[in-house]
Amino acid sequence: MYPDIKYSELEEKLKSDDYVLIDVRTPKEYAQETIPGAINVPLFSNEEREIVGTAYKQQSVDEAKMLGVEAVSKRLPEMFKTLLEINKKHQHLVFFCARGGFRSGSIVAFLKSLKISALKLEGGYKSYRAYVLERLPEVAKEVELIVLYGNTGTGKTQVLESLKAKGADVLDLEGCANHRGSTLGAVGLGDPNTQKMFESLLYDELKDRKTNLVFTEGESKRIGRSVIPEYIFDKIRGGIHVEITASMDTRVENIVSDYVYDTDDDLIEALNYLRKRLGNEKIDSYIERVKKDDYASVARDLMIEYYDPMYEHNPKNYVFQVENVDPEKTAEILMKHFQVESGK
C-alpha cells in the first residue's frame, strides 16, 4: 500500500527543499487552481482525461482503467525522466490528484517499486482545499491591516512591493487575484485567478507573516473573478487607512509603465467596456490614440474623466498621508511611522 500524508503534516516540511508537491492532474485542472508551489507533471492530457472520464460514466470502470493505462504507457518514459530530474533537487516527491485516488496512487506505487521516495497527499486537492477553508479564517483572525488608498496611478502596488522587499508583512490582494481591480485591471496579465486559487494565495501570504501588522491596498470586494472573504474585507474597512498621493505626471508615468507592453489589443478591448459610461466619441478617440502610441494622453484623460471622480465619490478618514515620489522612500516613511522593523 502506498503511503499517504496529510497536508497538515506536510505544510512545515514544504518550507525546505527536501519536499516538493507534484500535481498529476491535467494541464487544464492545474491552470485553474493548484496548491501554490506545486509542479505539474500530468498523467493524462486534457483530451485523454475527458475520454477516460466518459468511459467511466458511460461504459465501465474496467474500460476506463484500460484506456487510462494505454494513455499513461505512452507518456511514462518522458514522465519518469522528468521526475528523476525533480528528484535530484528534492528528496521526497509528494503527489496529488483531485481526490487522492487512482492518478496519484498509481504513480506513487510505480515509483516506490523503483525505490524512489514518493508519497501521496491524502484526499488530494479536495482535502487541501478543505484545509485552506478551515485555516484561512484562523490565520486572518489576529491580523491588523494598514490599508493604502489613493487615486489610480499613485503607485500603491509598487509601494507594497518595496515594503515586502524591506521585510514588512504584506497582503497583495491584486497579486493573489492576478487582476488590478479595475476595468483595465486584466490588461497584460492573462486570465484572472479563480476563487479557489485566490484563497490559497491569501492563505500563503498570511500564514507565514512575522507580525500581526500587515500592509495591503484598499480594494472593492470583488477583484476580477475573486471575491475577498467577508472576514478579511471587514478588516480592510476597519483597518488603519493611509492615503498615497502623487503628481499627475507621476501617475501618468506609472500607468503607462504598468499597462503598456505589447498590450494594445487588451487595452482596446477594455476601453470598449467603458462606452456606456464615457460615450462612443471619447472611447473612439482613446482607441485612435492608442493605435498611434499616444498612451500618456489616454491615461491622463481616463484618470480625470473616469477614475478620479469614482475615487472622490468614496472619501475615507486617513490617519496618515504620504506623497509617493519614490516607492522605496515611501516604504521607509511608512515603516518608520508605524514602527515596523525591517525583516531583512
Would you please indicate which residues are annotated as catalytic (active-site) residues?
97
The 3 state secondary structure assigned to 243-257 is EEECCHHHHHHHHHH
Q: Under 8 Å CB-to-CB from 5, ≥6 apart: which residues?
A: 94, 119, 120, 121, 122
Extract the C-alpha cell encoding 173: 490582494
Contacts with 79 (C-beta within 8 Å, 6 or more apart), sequence order: 41, 43, 72, 107
Distances (CA, A) of 49 to 25, 82, 124: 9, 20, 17
Rounded to whole angstroms, the Cα distance separating 309 from 311 reads: 5
Q: What b/e string do you get for 59-71 counting C-beta neighbours within 10 Å, with b at 16 or more? A: eeeeebeebbeeb
Q: Which of helix, strand or coil describes residue 328?
A: helix
